[in-house]
Amino acid sequence: MAEDSTDINILSYTSQIPFARHLGFELTKFEGGESEIIYTAKPEHLNTFDVTHGGACMTLLDITMAAAARSVAPETGVVTIEMKTSFMQPSVGPLHARGTLIHRTATLAFTEAKIYDELERVCAHATGTFKYVKRRLPTGPASANAMRPPSTD
């Protein structure tokens, strides 16, 4: 059975990114260079000010940008080359992030994403560069494939 983009987004964002699964990210849009992920921080994802930790926000932005990049080539993977993040206000309550593929070359994706609170206020913004890579073969105890991270060169 051939994989379609729905199969690939489910595999990538629920099975192959354990940290995203741990945080409770839910991918709701994955098409045409755009993505959206919804997220509500659990108590253990908050900082000492009881707002979503910056690391969780950066992970949300990173994965949202990666999804936007992959949405135009779901058969490939991407790795983060660089990312710049600006925090504008505390990220509190239910959040959603929207990502956009701004430009693509044969090997690179230039993206941006924003985190919004439930009142649609922008809490954080990021830009990122991603490299398109071949998807890895399955690894693990039941696999004959050795664990090799994708190359960034």
pLDDT in tens, 39-95: 999 999 999 999 999 999 999 999 999 999 999 998 889 999 999 999 999 999 999
Q: pLDDT for 89-121, tens place per residue?
A: 999 999 999 999 999 999 999 999 999 999 999
Nearest one of 114, 41, 116, 33 to 78, comparing CA atoms: 33
Residues ≥6 apart with Cβ < 8 Å to 87: 54, 57, 123, 124
Domain boundaries, the chain: 10-133
For residues 148 and 16, what is the distance between their CA atoms, to the nearest angstrom? 14
| Residues in a beta bridge with 52 | 46
For residue 12, the model assigns a pLDDT of: 52
The fourth-level CATH superfamily of domain 10-133 is Hotdog Thioesterase (3.10.129.10)
DSSP code, position 93: S
For residue 152, the model assigns a pLDDT of: 60
Residues ≥6 apart with Cβ < 8 Å to 153: none
Q: What is the pTM of this model?
A: 0.83
Q: Is the pLDDT of residue 145 over 80?
A: no
